[in-house]
Amino acid sequence: MLVIDNLHVSVGGKEILRGLSLTLPAGAVHAVMGPNGSGKSTLAHVLAGREGYTVTAGTARFAGQDLLGLPAEERAHLGIFLGFQYPVEIPGVSTMYFLKAAVNAQRKHRGEPELDAMEFLKVLRREIKGLGMDEAMAQRPLNVGFSGGEKKRNEVLQLALLRPKLAVLDETDSGLDIDALKTVAAGVNALRAPDRAMLIITHYQRLLTYIVPDRVHVLSGGVIVASGGEEIAEVLEREGYAAFATTTLSAA
Protein backbone atom coordinates (compact mmCIF):
# COMPACT_ATOMS: atom_id res chain seq x y z
CA MET A 1 0.00 0.00 0.00
CA LEU A 2 2.58 2.58 1.14
CA VAL A 3 6.26 2.20 0.29
CA ILE A 4 8.70 4.85 1.43
CA ASP A 5 12.23 4.41 0.22
CA ASN A 6 15.31 6.34 1.34
CA LEU A 7 13.36 9.55 1.86
CA HIS A 8 15.38 12.71 2.44
CA VAL A 9 13.47 15.87 3.33
CA SER A 10 14.69 19.35 4.23
CA VAL A 11 12.92 22.29 5.72
CA GLY A 12 14.52 25.69 5.26
CA GLY A 13 17.80 24.08 4.20
CA LYS A 14 17.94 21.83 7.26
CA GLU A 15 17.69 18.11 6.62
CA ILE A 16 15.02 16.51 8.82
CA LEU A 17 14.44 13.10 7.24
CA ARG A 18 17.70 11.45 6.29
CA GLY A 19 16.96 8.32 4.33
CA LEU A 20 13.76 7.03 5.87
CA SER A 21 12.41 3.74 4.53
CA LEU A 22 9.16 2.12 5.59
CA THR A 23 6.65 -0.31 4.06
CA LEU A 24 3.05 -0.40 5.18
CA PRO A 25 0.90 -3.20 3.75
CA ALA A 26 -2.85 -2.82 3.22
CA GLY A 27 -4.84 -3.44 6.39
CA ALA A 28 -1.78 -3.05 8.60
CA VAL A 29 -1.49 -0.70 11.56
CA HIS A 30 2.05 0.51 12.16
CA ALA A 31 3.26 2.88 14.80
CA VAL A 32 6.08 5.36 14.33
CA MET A 33 7.53 6.44 17.63
CA GLY A 34 10.17 8.99 18.26
CA PRO A 35 11.28 11.80 20.51
CA ASN A 36 10.61 15.45 19.84
CA GLY A 37 12.40 16.66 16.74
CA SER A 38 13.03 13.19 15.33
CA GLY A 39 11.02 14.03 12.18
CA LYS A 40 7.66 12.44 13.04
CA SER A 41 5.50 15.38 12.04
CA THR A 42 7.65 16.06 8.99
CA LEU A 43 6.95 12.52 7.84
CA ALA A 44 3.20 13.02 8.33
CA HIS A 45 3.17 16.33 6.49
CA VAL A 46 5.31 15.15 3.61
CA LEU A 47 3.02 12.17 3.07
CA ALA A 48 -0.02 14.47 3.07
CA GLY A 49 1.58 16.94 0.67
CA ARG A 50 2.06 20.01 2.78
CA GLU A 51 4.04 22.76 1.04
CA GLY A 52 7.29 24.05 2.48
CA TYR A 53 9.11 20.70 2.55
CA THR A 54 11.85 19.90 0.04
CA VAL A 55 12.32 16.27 -0.91
CA THR A 56 15.98 15.98 -1.84
CA ALA A 57 16.07 12.22 -2.45
CA GLY A 58 14.01 9.08 -2.19
CA THR A 59 10.47 8.11 -3.09
CA ALA A 60 7.09 7.53 -1.52
CA ARG A 61 4.62 5.39 -3.45
CA PHE A 62 1.02 4.77 -2.58
CA ALA A 63 -0.83 1.93 -4.28
CA GLY A 64 1.89 1.97 -6.91
CA GLN A 65 1.59 5.68 -7.59
CA ASP A 66 4.30 8.25 -6.99
CA LEU A 67 2.95 10.42 -4.22
CA LEU A 68 5.48 13.19 -3.94
CA GLY A 69 4.54 15.12 -7.06
CA LEU A 70 0.85 15.37 -6.20
CA PRO A 71 -0.85 18.34 -4.57
CA ALA A 72 -2.44 17.76 -1.17
CA GLU A 73 -6.03 17.57 -2.40
CA GLU A 74 -5.18 14.90 -4.98
CA ARG A 75 -3.56 12.77 -2.31
CA ALA A 76 -6.73 13.16 -0.28
CA HIS A 77 -8.72 12.00 -3.30
CA LEU A 78 -6.49 8.91 -3.51
CA GLY A 79 -7.61 8.08 0.01
CA ILE A 80 -4.86 9.54 2.19
CA PHE A 81 -6.02 11.09 5.44
CA LEU A 82 -3.98 13.01 7.96
CA GLY A 83 -5.23 13.27 11.51
CA PHE A 84 -3.72 16.57 12.63
CA GLN A 85 -1.72 17.03 15.78
CA TYR A 86 -3.07 20.57 15.94
CA PRO A 87 -6.45 20.68 14.18
CA VAL A 88 -6.96 24.05 12.56
CA GLU A 89 -9.67 26.53 13.50
CA ILE A 90 -11.80 28.08 10.77
CA PRO A 91 -13.98 30.83 12.24
CA GLY A 92 -17.48 31.21 10.88
CA VAL A 93 -17.55 27.85 9.10
CA SER A 94 -19.75 25.37 10.89
CA THR A 95 -18.23 21.96 11.49
CA MET A 96 -21.10 20.32 9.66
CA TYR A 97 -20.67 22.56 6.63
CA PHE A 98 -16.98 21.81 6.48
CA LEU A 99 -17.46 18.06 6.86
CA LYS A 100 -20.07 18.02 4.14
CA ALA A 101 -17.82 20.01 1.81
CA ALA A 102 -15.00 17.53 2.42
CA VAL A 103 -17.12 14.43 1.97
CA ASN A 104 -18.68 15.78 -1.20
CA ALA A 105 -15.37 16.92 -2.66
CA GLN A 106 -14.12 13.35 -2.36
CA ARG A 107 -17.34 11.78 -3.58
CA LYS A 108 -17.30 14.04 -6.58
CA HIS A 109 -13.79 12.98 -7.37
CA ARG A 110 -14.76 9.33 -7.22
CA GLY A 111 -17.67 9.97 -9.55
CA GLU A 112 -20.26 9.37 -6.85
CA PRO A 113 -23.26 11.68 -6.44
CA GLU A 114 -22.85 14.38 -3.82
CA LEU A 115 -24.88 14.03 -0.65
CA ASP A 116 -27.54 16.62 -0.04
CA ALA A 117 -27.99 18.21 3.37
CA MET A 118 -30.50 15.62 4.60
CA GLU A 119 -28.53 12.61 3.42
CA PHE A 120 -25.36 13.98 4.91
CA LEU A 121 -27.03 14.76 8.22
CA LYS A 122 -28.13 11.16 8.51
CA VAL A 123 -24.60 9.85 7.98
CA LEU A 124 -23.15 12.46 10.29
CA ARG A 125 -25.55 11.64 13.11
CA ARG A 126 -24.70 7.96 12.91
CA GLU A 127 -20.96 8.60 13.15
CA ILE A 128 -21.29 11.22 15.88
CA LYS A 129 -23.31 8.78 17.94
CA GLY A 130 -20.79 6.01 17.34
CA LEU A 131 -18.05 8.21 18.74
CA GLY A 132 -20.08 9.26 21.76
CA MET A 133 -19.91 12.87 20.70
CA ASP A 134 -22.34 15.72 21.26
CA GLU A 135 -24.39 16.49 18.17
CA ALA A 136 -24.40 20.19 19.01
CA MET A 137 -20.71 20.20 18.14
CA ALA A 138 -21.57 19.98 14.45
CA GLN A 139 -23.19 23.42 14.60
CA ARG A 140 -20.17 25.11 16.11
CA PRO A 141 -17.52 26.77 13.94
CA LEU A 142 -14.85 24.28 12.98
CA ASN A 143 -12.55 23.62 15.97
CA VAL A 144 -13.13 27.15 17.31
CA GLY A 145 -13.23 27.03 21.08
CA PHE A 146 -13.05 23.22 21.05
CA SER A 147 -11.21 21.58 23.92
CA GLY A 148 -8.20 19.45 23.08
CA GLY A 149 -10.30 16.32 23.41
CA GLU A 150 -13.07 17.71 21.20
CA LYS A 151 -10.60 18.62 18.51
CA LYS A 152 -9.11 15.13 18.43
CA ARG A 153 -12.51 13.50 18.44
CA ASN A 154 -13.41 15.74 15.55
CA GLU A 155 -10.41 14.36 13.69
CA VAL A 156 -11.57 10.82 14.31
CA LEU A 157 -15.05 11.81 13.18
CA GLN A 158 -13.55 12.98 9.89
CA LEU A 159 -11.62 9.74 9.61
CA ALA A 160 -14.89 7.86 10.03
CA LEU A 161 -16.73 10.03 7.50
CA LEU A 162 -14.02 10.03 4.85
CA ARG A 163 -13.12 6.31 5.13
CA PRO A 164 -9.60 6.68 3.72
CA LYS A 165 -7.33 3.88 2.49
CA LEU A 166 -4.42 5.26 4.47
CA ALA A 167 -4.80 7.13 7.73
CA VAL A 168 -1.77 8.91 9.13
CA LEU A 169 -2.57 9.91 12.70
CA ASP A 170 -0.13 12.52 13.94
CA GLU A 171 0.08 12.58 17.76
CA THR A 172 -3.60 11.86 18.07
CA ASP A 173 -3.05 11.21 21.76
CA SER A 174 -1.43 14.53 22.63
CA GLY A 175 -3.46 16.69 24.95
CA LEU A 176 -5.94 13.96 25.83
CA ASP A 177 -6.88 12.80 29.27
CA ILE A 178 -7.27 9.08 29.78
CA ASP A 179 -11.02 8.97 29.15
CA ALA A 180 -10.76 10.96 25.96
CA LEU A 181 -7.83 8.80 24.91
CA LYS A 182 -9.93 5.67 25.34
CA THR A 183 -12.80 7.11 23.29
CA VAL A 184 -10.51 8.23 20.51
CA ALA A 185 -8.72 4.88 20.46
CA ALA A 186 -12.01 3.01 20.36
CA GLY A 187 -13.06 5.15 17.41
CA VAL A 188 -9.85 4.40 15.57
CA ASN A 189 -10.00 0.70 16.36
CA ALA A 190 -13.53 0.51 14.99
CA LEU A 191 -12.15 1.74 11.69
CA ARG A 192 -9.46 -0.88 11.35
CA ALA A 193 -10.22 -2.80 8.19
CA PRO A 194 -8.44 -5.11 5.72
CA ASP A 195 -8.40 -2.38 3.08
CA ARG A 196 -7.34 0.44 5.38
CA ALA A 197 -3.76 0.95 6.49
CA MET A 198 -2.91 3.16 9.44
CA LEU A 199 0.26 4.90 10.46
CA ILE A 200 0.07 5.93 14.11
CA ILE A 201 2.60 8.60 14.93
CA THR A 202 3.19 9.12 18.62
CA HIS A 203 5.70 10.19 21.21
CA TYR A 204 4.31 8.04 24.00
CA GLN A 205 3.77 4.37 24.37
CA ARG A 206 0.45 4.74 26.18
CA LEU A 207 -1.62 5.22 23.00
CA LEU A 208 -0.38 1.84 21.79
CA THR A 209 -1.96 0.20 24.83
CA TYR A 210 -5.30 1.13 23.31
CA ILE A 211 -4.47 0.94 19.62
CA VAL A 212 -2.33 -2.15 19.35
CA PRO A 213 -0.14 -1.88 16.25
CA ASP A 214 1.05 -4.75 14.08
CA ARG A 215 4.48 -3.24 14.02
CA VAL A 216 6.42 -0.47 15.71
CA HIS A 217 9.14 1.68 14.12
CA VAL A 218 11.43 3.92 16.09
CA LEU A 219 12.30 7.14 14.33
CA SER A 220 15.39 8.93 15.47
CA GLY A 221 17.46 11.58 13.76
CA GLY A 222 15.39 11.30 10.63
CA VAL A 223 15.79 7.56 10.05
CA ILE A 224 14.10 4.40 11.32
CA VAL A 225 16.54 3.00 13.85
CA ALA A 226 14.56 -0.02 14.94
CA SER A 227 11.47 -1.95 13.85
CA GLY A 228 9.68 -4.78 15.52
CA GLY A 229 6.62 -5.91 17.42
CA GLU A 230 5.05 -4.67 20.61
CA GLU A 231 8.23 -5.45 22.51
CA ILE A 232 9.83 -2.33 21.04
CA ALA A 233 7.23 -0.13 22.65
CA GLU A 234 7.82 -1.90 25.92
CA VAL A 235 11.55 -1.27 25.73
CA LEU A 236 10.81 2.39 25.08
CA GLU A 237 8.50 2.51 28.05
CA ARG A 238 11.20 1.04 30.28
CA GLU A 239 14.38 2.63 28.98
CA GLY A 240 13.27 5.61 26.90
CA TYR A 241 14.58 6.60 23.49
CA ALA A 242 18.15 6.40 24.78
CA ALA A 243 17.94 2.64 24.22
CA PHE A 244 17.82 3.29 20.47
CA ALA A 245 20.12 6.28 20.33
CA THR A 246 22.37 4.83 17.71
CA THR A 247 22.31 8.01 15.68
CA THR A 248 22.67 11.61 16.70
CA LEU A 249 19.57 12.10 18.78
CA SER A 250 20.59 15.45 20.10
CA ALA A 251 21.10 16.87 16.65
CA ALA A 252 17.57 16.06 15.58
- Where on the chain is the footprint of another protein (CB under 8 A)? 48-52, 71-73, 75-77, 81-82, 84, 86-93, 97-98, 101-102, 105-106, 109, 141-142, 158, 162
Nearest distance from residue 2's CB to another protein, in Å? Answer: 16
Q: Work out the number of other CB atoms within 10 angstroms of the CB of residue 91.
A: 9
How many CB atoms neighbour CB 99 within 10 A? 22
Other beta carbons within 10 Å of 13:
6
**Smallest distance from the beta carbon of 66 to another protein, in angstroms?**
19
Cβ closest to another protein, residue 72 vs residue 180: 72
* Minimum distance from residue 47 beta carbon to another protein (Å): 10
* DSSP letter for each residue of 71-96: -HHHHHHHTEEEE-SSPPPEEEEEHH
Select 88 or 118, whichever has its Cβ closest to another protein: 88
The rounded distance, in Å, linking the Cα atoms of 52 and 106 is 24
Helix (H, G, I), strand (E, B) or coil at 55: strand
Task: Give 42 or 220: the residue with its C-beta nearer to another protein.
Answer: 42
On the 0-12 / 13-18 / 19+ scale of CB atoms within 10 A, 231 is exposed
What's the min distance (Å) between Cβ of 117 and another protein? Answer: 12
Nearest approach, Cβ of residue 242 and another protein (Å): 33
**Alpha-helical segments (H) within 138-229:** 148-162, 178-190, 207-210
Which one, 71 or 228, has the nearer CB to another protein?
71
**Which residue number, 83 or 221, has a Cβ lying nearer to another protein?**
83
Cα separation, 157 vs 229, whole angstroms? 28
